Structures are given as C-alpha cells and as structure tokens.
Amino acid sequence: MTLVLTTDPPPTADLVVIGGGVLGAATAFYASRAGLRTVVVERRPVLCSLTTPVAAGGFRLQFDNREETALVRESLETFENFAEVTGLRGYDLRLQKQGYLFVTTDPPTARRQAERVALQQSWGVHDVELLKGSEARYRFPYLSEQIISARYRAGDGFVDPKRLTYGYARASNATFLVSTSATGFQLAGGRIAGVQTSRGDIATNAVVIAAGPFTGQVARLAGLDFGLSAVRRHRLVMPEVPEVPSDAPFVIDEDNGAHWRPAFQGAYLVFTDPSTPPGDPLWSVPTDPEFVFLLLDPSSEHTVARACPFWRAVWERGTDHWVLQAGQYTYSPDHRPILGPTPIPGLYLNAGYSGHGVMGSAGGSRRVVDLLLGRADPATNPFRWDRPMTAHAFDVI
C-alpha cells in the first residue's frame, strides 16, 4: 500500500477528516475500511509533524476509570496485531512491552496505589501488581531506597508514534490533502454539507475534527465550543546515556510527576506540570530550557534522580547530549476524550485525549467511525460531548 500526498482536493468525499496526526490517520483507516471515501485535510506538507511526533509513545492499562481502560485495551490489541489488522505485511511499530512502573515514597500515595490496583483488577486488568518497596528494588535495582510502594504492569509499554501514524495512513487508502487549511464549513438544512479549504471546497455529509490542539479552533468555525484547551508539554530526548537500562519500564515518580523511559541508547524524559496554564494552539511550540534543569538537577523537587539515583551521576558528569522538544496536549474539562457526534448533524469529534492520543488512537477512532455509521448508540457513548463534565485531577502521565 502506497501513501499518496496531494494538494489537489477532490470535489466530493464520503468523509472529510481534519488533522493529519495519529488520530486523523487512525480515523481515516477505520473509515476507509468501512467503505467510506475519505479525505484527510492537513495544513502542513507532511503528516505527523506537530504534536504526535513529540509524544513519548507510551500505552498502559493503568487508568483511573473503566472507560479509558477499555479504550486503550482495544488499541493495545491493535498494536500487537498491527501488520495483520492493517494488511501491511511485516510492518514494525517498534512495540516494546517493558511495563509501566509507578513509584512512591509517600504513605498516603501508597494507599492510593493499593486502591487503584484493586479497581484495575476489578475491571479485568488482572496482571497489574502492587509491589512493596523492597520487591520493586529487587526487580529494578536502580530505584531509590526511599521507594516504599509501586504499581506495575509488565504488559504496558511503548510504540513509535510516527510509525503508528504512517501505518494507519498507508493502510487507509485515503486521500491525504496536504499544505491545505480547513477554513470553514458548508451547512444545508442545519447539517454538514461540505468543508471549505484554502484550496477549494469539498462536498461531504460527514466531517471528523481530529486536529489535536487546533480542534477547538476548528470547531468554533462551526460556532461550537466544547471547552477544549491546549497546554504546552515538553519532551527531553537524551539519545545516549550509559546508565539507562535498555530493558527498563516507563518509570513514573507519582510524588513529583517526573518520568522517563528508555529510547535510542538513552531516554525520553517527561514531566506533566499541572500548574502550566492553557494557551492558544500553536504551529510552532517554543521550548523552555528551564525544563531540562527541572528534571535533571538533583536539587529540583521534580528531578528524576529522586526515584532513580543514577540520574544524579548523569547530571554531575554533564557531558550527555540532549534535545528539548515541545508540543501541546489537548484537554477536555474532565481530561477524557470527546468522541462522536456534535450538535451539528454530520460533524464529529475525535479529540481531547489529554496526552493519551497515541494509546487511545485505535479504540477511540474505531468508536467514532461506528457512531458515524450508526453502528453504536450515541446515548450510551461514555465519551459523548454532552456528558456531565467536572474538573478532574491531572493524571501524572
């Protein structure tokens, strides 16, 4: 299957998807597989060039709610069988099941870990484990002596977000209209009749907005506001760090939010700061060098050296190279995705994953297409736009 990018919009389509990141590509895959002539509109000249490539690529079943657990479980099954599901023989997502390890030195957090593990097991995640500090250190000797509790699932892990996006896209046989902006919508009788773009109009009865941090802005072109916000997030890439075990899990310090996972011959390091204010969606997201020191300096309250002391030696050596990148998470008011129909018939959303877009891409996009085709009941959709939404605490990752 060959991916073809074009700047020549077709006059009609069964479905127009706005956004060429992982969610747009996944939506195109499931829509095309259902027989819909699908066009993906992407402002940039290539796919997967804004937020998706800055993702850490993690997937996990350790959630605080049953609904997202089911969503990611479906995605994980797709990742495990990606070549077969997509028909891309031998396609490699660089899937690594090395686990997610959440650690704490705090007794109240340890109690919450035990409660979380019990809930997850009741939802069918039977292989998630609650570990005492000593057992965690036995399995992962690089952990701090101060760790008193950990929760761990060996079946969690990570994939390559760019390979995932391009795999969906190649397998979709959709038309990818690049270097093209969506500028408005055409309505007839109160429902979607077409999409206006910078290169001409496309007549269609169905549109899915999967534009990442720009989803709210695109929705407002139709007069809709779903309370989505864009928040800057950094990824620190250290391509060569000898101390990083190549078989390590994704290690998350639940006390300070710092986390890292093996990548290349080093690591990706991330910190989700709940105090970061939302801002406007950006095509060029600036980086803040202070983020590096926040994670690496052992004197910082958010240092990765707190849970894993070998990072102190990395800081003191000072010779390891790093690259700092930034993207934006798209948050809904309750930090869970908004999937499915909007108040305007024919207009759908696939957005608001709050940093979980890669891991939720298959399960979420398949649900959106099923709702679009009438295969699922919008009233029983737990991710519908009009569900009760209350402020929700930030998940650490």
- For residue 390, what pLDDT is reported? 79
Q: Is the pTM of this model over 0.75?
A: yes
Average pLDDT for the chain: 97
If residue 330 lies in a helix (H) or strand (E), which one and from where to where? strand 323-331
Spatial CA neighbour of 331 closest among 230, 220, 182, 211:
230
% of the chain at pLDDT higher than 70: 98
- For residue 2, what pLDDT is reported? 79
- For residue 397, what pLDDT is reported? 59
Q: What is the dihedral sign for C-alpha 188, 190, 195, 197?
A: positive
What is the CATH topology of the domain spanning 97-156+230-327? D-Amino Acid Oxidase; Chain A, domain 2 (3.30.9)
Q: How would you classify residue 63: left for phi > 0, otherwise alpha for psi between -120 and 50, otherwise beta?
A: beta
- For residue 274, what pLDDT is reported? 85
The DSSP secondary-structure symbol of 12 reads: B
Q: Quick one: angle between helices 22-33 and 357-372, nearest 10?
A: 40
The angle subtended at Cα 152 by Cα 268 and Cα 255, nearest 5°, is 65
- Domain spans in the chain, listed from the N-terminal domain onward: 5-75+161-228+332-380, 97-156+230-327
Spatial CA neighbour of 94 closest among 21, 152, 156, 162:
162
DSSP secondary structure string, 201-243?
Answer: EEE-S-EEE--GGGHHHHHHTTT-----EEEEEEEEEESB-TT
User: Domain 5-75+161-228+332-380 maps to which CATH number in 3.50.50.60, 3.40.50.970, 3.30.2320.80, 1.20.810.10?
Assistant: 3.50.50.60
> Which residue positions in the chain have pLDDT lower than 70?
391-397
User: How many angstroms separate the CA atoms of 4 and 17, rounded?
Assistant: 16
pLDDT digits (tens, 9 = 90+) for 205-218: 999 999 999 999 99
Strand partners, 131: 150
